[in-house]
Chains A and B, each alone.
Chain A
Amino acid sequence: EAQVTQNPRYLITVTGKKLTVTCSQNMNHEYMSWYRQDPGLGLRQIYYSMNVEVTDKGDVPEGYKVSRKEKRNFPLILESPSPNQTSLYFCASSHGPPRDTEAFFGQGTRLTVV
C-alpha cells in the first residue's frame, strides 16, 4: 500500500531534550516536506526536500533541522524543543514538484513540549 509513515504518532517531551520525528514514504517520491498545524493557522511549511541531500527552508524553519540521506526518509529534528513547538506535525511527499502533482500526507505526529 502506498503511504507516508510518521513515527511516533504522539510524543510528550520536556524542554531542551533533543528529539527526532521520522518520516518514510514507499512511493519513490522525490519531493518531501514537513508542516506544522496550529489552531486557526492552517498548515505552515517548515522544510522541504527536492531530492537526496537537497533541502531548503519553508516558512517557519526556526528551531528545526532536517536531513535527506535516503530518498525514502526525511526525518525532522528538534535539537532543543521549546513549548512553542507544541503542535501537530505532518510529513508529505509527491512524485513531482508540488506545482504539478498532488501531495500525499502522513497521519501526523502530535508533539507536546512541557
Chain B
Amino acid sequence: KQEVTQIPAALSVPEGENLVLNCSFTDSAIYNLQWFRQDPGKGLTSLLLIQSSQREQTSGRLNASLDKSSGRSTLYIAASQPGDSATYLCAVNTGGFKTIFGAGTRLFVKA
C-alpha cells in the first residue's frame, strides 16, 4: 500500500533563506508527483507536476525533483519570503484515479 510521508511537519525559517521540503513514498511505481500549496480558506493551489519520466520541474523560485528509485521528492524554495508561509503538500498518483497525499509541511517564513 502506497504511503506518502512529509518531514518535517512544520518548519520556521528567516526570510531570505533557501529551504528544502521533503516528500517520501513507499512504492516507486508512480505515474506522477504533484506539489501543492495550501493557504487557510483558499484551498489547494498546484505548484509543480512531475511526470514519472521526469527528474525535475522548475517554476520561478521553486524547483521540484523526483527520484523514483529512492522514493523521494524535494521541493526547493529559493530566497524565501513571508508570502511563502503556507502548508505544502505532495501527492503521488499510483495509476488510474488513485492519488495519495502526504500530511503536509507547515512553513513559516519570518520577516
Determine if A50 and B43 form an interchain contact, defined as CB atoms under 8 angstroms apart: no
Determine if B93 and A43 form an interchain contact, defined as CB atoms under 8 angstroms apart: no
Q: How large is the interface on B (under 10, 10 to 19, 20 to 34, 35 or more residues)?
A: 20 to 34
The number of A-B residue pairs with CB atoms under 8 Å apart is: 65
Bound-state CA distance A4–B32 (Å) is 22
Question: Is B101 positioned at the interface, with any CB of A under 8 Å from its CB?
Answer: yes
What distance in Å separates the Cβ of A77 from its nearest Cβ neighbour in chain B?
20
Chain A residues within an 8 Å CB radius of B42 = 107
Question: Is B46 positioned at the interface, with any CB of A under 8 Å from its CB?
Answer: yes
Q: Which positions 18-48 of chain A face chain B at CB distance < 8 Å?
A: 31, 33, 35, 40-45, 48
Question: Is B99 positioned at the interface, with any CB of A under 8 Å from its CB?
Answer: yes
Across the two chains, which residue of chain A brings its CB closest to B91?
A43
Bound-state CA distance A105–B91 (Å) is 13
Determine if A105 and B97 form an interchain contact, defined as CB atoms under 8 angstroms apart: no
Interface string of B72-84 (1 = CB under 8 A from A): 0000000000000
Q: A42-B89, A107-B41, A107-B42 are in contact. Are A31 and B34 (CB under 8 A)?
A: no
Q: When the two chains form the complex, which single residue of A44, A48, A101, A105 contacts B43, counting CB atoms closer than 8 Å? A: A105
Stretch with Cβ within 8 A of B (4 or more), from A63-71, A78-86, A92-100? A92-100
Determine if A45 and B98 form an interchain contact, defined as CB atoms under 8 angstroms apart: yes
Chain B residues within an 8 Å CB radius of A4 = 43
What distance in Å separates the Cβ of B100 from its nearest Cβ neighbour in chain A?
8
Question: Is A108 positioned at the interface, with any CB of B under 8 Å from its CB?
Answer: yes
Determine if A107 and B97 form an interchain contact, defined as CB atoms under 8 angstroms apart: no
Q: A42-B89, A42-B101, A102-B49 are in contact. Are A97 and B96 (CB under 8 A)?
A: yes
Q: A42-B4, A43-B89, A97-B96 are in contact. Are A103 and B34 (CB under 8 A)?
A: yes
Residues of A bordering B, CB below 8 Å? 4, 9, 31, 33, 35, 40-45, 48, 50, 56, 58, 90, 92, 97-108
